[in-house]
Amino acid sequence: RGRGRGRGRGRGVERRASPAPLPSPAIELIKDLVNYDVCPALLKGLVALLIPSFKETSKQQSQIVSDSSVLQLTAHLPLFLQQAAAAKAIGILARGNTSLAEEMLPLRVVHSLMAAMGNTDHSNSQRQASLTLEYFVQLFPVVEEHVRRSMGEELYKLFRSNAEDLYVKIDSIQADILAANKVNVTKELYLSGLSDSTMSSYCGHCNQGQVAYITHFQKEAAEEKE
């Protein structure tokens, strides 16, 4: 069943040239699927690929019988390639439809993009994640605020001056800051009145822990109004 999509709320920004597209059949399929009911699951899956699971990483590491760091890195490459591709796909979808960008915010896409930016083992993941995060920062003031606070002024200025080349300018400490970030804009999205349809769509795909968290700050907000 098709889904009609309007423009989401966000800061007006100049559209910069999008990064080079993914292989045409893959991105065209993704762009088509977001128009159907599978969209929430697809977005959730793309965001999940930004942070490879520890279980999958460990499984691939266990297949390495040599101590060679080159071989160890090679074991991670399929996951890192997926990470970079997901970051690029998210950027393409967000630039094409701000409603999709809005829907990904409660999925902690900002946190996950920053974590990918800290992956010093794969520069393309860092580059693609940085370019996509730049768009989210330009589009949503709440994202800009959280990213600036998490990065600190020095790193944030580097990021805003040239997001595409940030990965060649950061040191190991700054990479660790990105990888270990705790950014979570979900509470602010609810309190600032992000579209009800977006939050309803998100809540329909939450696990029990996420539902409990949202219920908690809904209660907090109600108490503050009393």
Token pair listed for 103: 């829907």
**C-alpha angle with apex 64: 60 to 68, nearest 5 degrees?**
125
Q: What's the pLDDT score for residue 28?
A: 86
Residue labelled with tokens 């009609």: 4
Note if the pTM is more than 0.75: no
CA-to-CA distance for 172 and 122, rounded, in angstroms?
Answer: 14
User: Could you give phi then psi for residue 16, rounded to 5 degrees?
Assistant: -90, 165
pLDDT tens, per residue, the chain with 226 residues: 545 554 444 554 444 444 444 556 788 889 999 999 999 999 999 999 999 875 454 454 444 444 455 445 545 668 999 999 999 999 999 999 999 999 999 999 999 999 999 999 999 999 999 999 999 999 999 999 999 999 999 999 999 999 999 999 999 999 999 999 999 998 777 666 554 444 444 444 444 444 444 444 445 444 544 5
Position 46 scores a pLDDT of 95
The total of other beta-carbon atoms located within 10 Å of residue 196's CB is 9
How does 165-179 read in b/e, with b if 16+ C-beta sit within 10 Å? ebbeebeeebbebbe
In the three-class reduction of DSSP (H, G, I as helix; E, B as strand; rest coil), residue 114 is classed as helix
A 10 A CB-CB count for 64 gives 14
DSSP label at residue 63: T
